[in-house]
Amino acid sequence: MKKLIATLALSAAFAAPVLAQAPGGLRGPTLDTIKARGQLICGVNTALPGFSAPDAQGVWRGLDVDLCKAIAAAVFGDANKVRFVPTTSQQRFVALQSGEIDVLTRNATQTFARDVSLGLHEAGVNFYDGQGFIVRKASNIASARQLDGATVCVQPGTTTELNLADYFRAQKMKFTPVVIERLEENIAAYQAGRCDAYTTDASGLAAIRTSLAVPGDHIILPERISKEPLGPMVRKGDDQWLAIVKWTLRAMIEAEEYGVNQANVDEMLKSTDPVVQRVLGVQGGFGAMMGLDNKWAYNIVKQIGNYGDSFERNVGVKTPLALERGINDLWTKGGLMYAIPLR
Ligand SMILES: N[C@@H](CCC(=O)N[C@@H](CS)C(=O)NCC(=O)O)C(=O)O
């Protein structure tokens, strides 16, 4: 009996730190709802090649689509348990607020107002961007400073619309906004010459340029007139779900930093590096603390890859968008991608 009490006391002593970190503090309805449904619902863009757009076979692809699929891999161990809901600039936040979607993974800029007063949480940045302009080459405009008096097409419900007004006011230049609700109508209006320039995030411009009749007839001006930290968003009030979305992105960035990629992830299970072991769930039990399998991040990297894998596959220099990593590179390479430690 004494021996039994001693054994129980000993195991309790060892169990205590684990229990203290158990998912008790991180429970919320979203994960249970998603699991019961058997599918994650992500709000994505309607059609922004490289970020989120259906391919010729109707399969959704892109950096934002990958992030959504990575969350499904973390939750279900299966990146395909996802339904994509295309959202326009104006619908997207309502779709999230109303519960139509579980998470928004769509070129949404994180701002004070959106974080504080929309009832939504920003859950990290998966693409650091800035707003720019696209113009016809034939216009001989080489700088945004030459846009005085221009007609500029823009989508409402965006930071773009607000920055546009700020920029022209600050530059003491005049412009005529042509505010058109739908993206495809904006592009059609720009192509038809109804506006001298179209403005949005530079990533959006690169994506849109690939879909123009003759991409080479258009140039993206060099100025970036704003900061556009683009990233996933969730509803407020569910810390567990916020953690899952945040840590999915962080795990992809951390995996890249520690050299764990889609091709070597199985080999890396044998790594003696404690960081790699924690990321891949070999030790630490971090998945369980969020109500997930401890192989959550292994599943992400195995099925989707690390952040760099996804970047290069969707928007990198070898893709039609041909984007350099630039500020989206790891902090160890001069960029801003810095995942807080998984420990
Ligand atoms: N990052 C900006 C702009 C995002 C945005 O919605 N951009 C437009 C132009 S690229 C878009 O994605 N439109 C797609 C649609 O409405 O279908 C924001 O969050 O307000």
CA of 87 to the centre of ligand 1 (A): 9
| % of the chain exceeding 70 in pLDDT | 93
Residue that is last in its domain, among 226, 257, 275:
226
Q: Are residues 190 and 312 in the same domain?
A: no
Q: Are 255 and 279 in contact (CB under 8 A)?
A: yes
Q: Are residues 122 and 237 in the same domain?
A: yes
Cα(first)–Cα(last) distance of the chain, in Å?
A: 38
In angstroms, the CA 284 to CA 273 distance is 13
46 & 91 share domain: yes
Q: Is residue 250 located within the same domain as residue 309?
A: yes
Ligand 1 atom at shortest distance from the alpha carbon of 129: 1
Output the furthest CA–CA distance in the chain (Å, rounded): 91
Residues sharing a CB contact under 8 Å with residue 153, sequence separation 6 or more, in sequence order = 178, 180, 186, 189, 190, 194, 195, 197, 198, 199
- CA-nearest residue, atom 3 of ligand 1: 158
Number of domains in the chain: 2
Q: Write out pLDDT tens, residues 212-267.
A: 999 999 999 999 999 999 999 999 999 999 999 999 999 999 999 999 999 999 99
Residue 16 belongs to a domain: no
CA of residue 89 to ligand 1 center, whole Å: 5
How far is C-alpha 59 from the chain's CA centre?
Answer: 18
Structure tokens at 237: 């009030």
CA of 97 from ligand 1 middle (Å) equals 18
Ligand 1 touching residue 88 (CB < 6 A):
yes
Question: What does the mean pLDDT of the chain come to?
Answer: 93
Residue ending a domain, choose from 205, 226, 247: 226
| Residue 10: pLDDT band with limits 50, 70, 90 | very low
**For residue 40, what is the domain's CATH number?**
3.40.190.10
Decide: 95 in ligand 1 pocket, CB within 6 A.
Answer: no
Residue 200: CB within 6 Å of ligand 1?
A: yes
pLDDT of 185:
96
Of 182, 212, 220, which is closest to residue 45 (Cα–Cα)?
182
Distance between CA atoms of residues 241 and 23, nearest Å: 12
Tokens of 264: 């070597």
Could you list the residue range(s) of the whole structural domain that residue 290 is in?
A: 26-128+230-333
pLDDT for residue 27: 84
Q: What is the pLDDT of residues 67-97, one digit of tens each?
A: 999 999 999 999 999 999 999 999 999 999 9
Please say whether the beta carbons of 45 and 107 come within 8 A.
yes
The CA 280 to ligand 1 mean position distance, Å, reads 34
What ligand 1 atom has the least distance to the C-alpha of 158?
20
Does residue 226 line the site of ligand 1, with CB under 6 A?
no
Question: Distance between CA 104 and CA 155 in Å, rounded?
Answer: 19
Does the C-beta of 110 come closer than 6 Å to ligand 1? Answer: no
Whether residue 326 is found in the same domain as residue 239: yes
In the block, residue with structure tokens 């998966």: 126
Amino acid at 231: G
Contacts of 280 (CB under 8 A, 6+ apart): 260, 265, 268, 269, 271, 295, 297, 298, 301
Is the pTM higher than 0.85? yes
Helices (H) and strands (E) in the chain, counts: 14, 14
Q: Give the distance (Å) from ligand 1 centre to CA of residue 20.
A: 42
Amino acid at 337: M
| Amino acid occupying residue 289 | M
On whether both 178 and 264 belong to a single domain, the answer is no
Whether residue 124 sits in one domain with residue 137: no
Least confident range of 6-20, 209-223, 322-336: 6-20
CB of 201 closer than 6 angstroms to any ligand 1 atom:
yes
Task: Identify whether residues 55 and 80 lie together within a single domain.
Answer: yes
DSSP 286: H
pLDDT at 219: 97
**Distance from the alpha carbon of residue 189 to the mean position of ligand 1, in angstroms:** 16
